[in-house]
Amino acid sequence: METDLAPARRMWTGRQIAVLALLLATSVCSYVDRYILPLLQEVIKLELSLSDSALGLATGPAFAMFYALSGVPVARLAERFDRRRLLAAAVGFWSLMTALSGTATSLFTLVAYRFGVGAGEGGGVPTSHSLLSDHFPRHQRGMAMAVLSMGAPIAGILMPLVGGYVAHVWGWRAAFFVLGGAGLILALVILVTLRDPRVEGAAPRPEAANFRTDLRWLFGSPAFVWLFVAGALMGIGQGGFGTFLPSFLMRVHALDLVEAGAVLGIGGVVGVAGTFIGGYLADRFAGARGRSYPLVCALSGATTGACYLGALFQSAWPVAFALLIVASCTSDMKTGPNYAAVQNLVPARMRATAAAVFMIAATLIGSSIGPLLAGIVSDLTASAAFPAAFGDFFRACPGGRAPEGSAAMLVEACRAASAGGLETALKLIALAYLGAAIAFYLCSRHFAPHEDDAA
């Protein structure tokens, strides 16, 4: 990592702080609505009689496909039109779909509403990143993106406190209604208070090239190609663990819903620290070429993968818990530098487009594959390990558990097969973090900020 310090930094202005606070609230809303399903999926799985593969479909491709694909057209609109209106519309739409998720009565309806959540959230990311980059110069973007990326760990804190509590008291459907309603209020706040500097003339309106030209530029850059690969691999890891870590805690370590939510909440707290650490290190040691941005991400991927593997191979809960908490911290170290690297690498005219294309790697490829792969491997491994004397795993253990009133031997056989299958699946998924670390390092070998970006 370069030790040359970036140019002297001025403090953030009041307007920068206000804009960042509103964008952070948008990010928190997005992540809470995205990850409330994995937190509640064990309850939903039993009520709707779903398999792990079905859960992987609902939390993976059902969300990620529309999340990634909606990002590109919205990003092209964000290069030309009022980003305030676009962001408010995106938040309002995904919040409505979140509320409707509480009415799901089958896998089909649940998947349909997750399509909608993904489509809305996909439009929010490139718009938010483009707005942030117009408010913060290059040497401030690592920390600014880190603060924006705190949405994920803050959501990890709020989910068990709000969504988990509401679900525990009033049922899982009420949790979706409450979170969706809060998002609709936020959409109105954005529409009334946020301002687009391009519309006000405070920032230049760059001439946008056609999409094909921008794609050629992006994939002609070795640094962006390696960022794209790293984003896909990191997405596989985050998608798999983000979806099935609550289930792992309940099945393997026998935690209940509230206890699993508490672990996720603690992970969210340390994730905030990790986000700040990553953003600080990336900005502090950026130097002229800014290689610290991908290098911090490489460190994040390597340590996270190692900690997750250690936790999965550890049967003692205190040790596994400690490793999972460290992984929560190191996993979030990469988020700010990751997104800042994308913004610093490209010309100003294509920042929203670059963010949307990068989302294809992290979500359409990564987050689609991660949950679905984990679910399929979990089901196949559980089925293979299930004692033949009890028959077919899926018939004997609907929803991964023995029916009410079953013999103790069948109850234990279902539990052991379900827990062992998921544990094996997550060991495979953890390897994606190590692959991402290698790709981020290779990105750093080619990385340099674009010349038209103000230092």
pLDDT in tens, 376-385: 899 899 888 8
SS3 state of residue 155: helix
Predicted confidence (pLDDT) at residue 455 exceeds the cutoff of 50: no
What is the rounded average pLDDT of the residues 412-428? 90
Predicted local confidence at residue 330, as pLDDT: 94
Our CA angle for 117, 160, 26, nearest 5°, is 40
H-assigned helices in 313-367: 317-333, 335-345, 351-359
Predicted confidence (pLDDT) at residue 436 exceeds the cutoff of 90: yes
Higher pLDDT pick, 74 / 10: 74
What is the rounded average pLDDT of the residues 130-148? 78
Higher pLDDT pick, 64 / 16: 16
Q: For the chain, what is the mean pLDDT? A: 83
Predicted local confidence at residue 112, as pLDDT: 87
Quick one: pLDDT band at residue 319, thresholds 50, 70, 90? very high
Number of domains in the chain: 1
Report yes or no on 455 lying in a domain. no
Report yes or no on 235 lying in a domain. yes
Predicted local confidence at residue 301, as pLDDT: 96
Report yes or no on 69 lying in a domain. yes
Higher pLDDT pick, 386 / 58: 386
Report yes or no on 215 lying in a domain. yes
- Encode pLDDT of 206-250 as tens digits: 555 577 888 888 889 899 999 999 999 999 998 899 888 888 898
Report yes or no on 449 lying in a domain. no
Report yes or no on 453 lying in a domain. no
Higher pLDDT pick, 207 / 188: 188
Predicted confidence (pLDDT) at residue 25 exceeds the cutoff of 80: yes
Lowest mean pLDDT among 13-17, 198-202, 238-242, 303-307: 198-202
Lowest mean pLDDT among 124-128, 136-140, 368-372: 136-140
- How far is residue 269's CA from residue 286's CA, in Å, rounded to a whole number? 26
Higher pLDDT pick, 72 / 96: 96
Closest C-alpha to 221, from 84, 97, 345, 373: 345
Higher pLDDT pick, 247 / 64: 247
What is the rounded average pLDDT of the residues 196-208? 60
What is the rounded average pLDDT of the residues 72-93? 83
Report yes or no on 58 lying in a domain. yes
Query: What is the CATH classification number for the domain harbouring 344?
Result: 1.20.1250.20
**Numbers of helices and strands, H then E, in the chain:** 20, 0
Predicted confidence (pLDDT) at residue 334 exceeds the cutoff of 60: yes
Report yes or no on 238 lying in a domain. yes
What is the rounded average pLDDT of the residues 275-301? 85
Could you please report the per-residue DSSP string of 242-297? HHHHHHHHHHHS---HHHHHHHHHHHHHHHHHHHHHHHHHHHHT-TTTTTHHHHHH
Instruction: Give the residue numbers spanning the domain of 138.
Output: 14-444
Higher pLDDT pick, 230 / 388: 230
Please enumerate in sequence order all residues whose Cβ is within 8 A of that of 225, keeping only pairs 6 or more positions apart, or say none.
219
Higher pLDDT pick, 338 / 324: 324
What is the rounded average pLDDT of the residues 143-167? 78
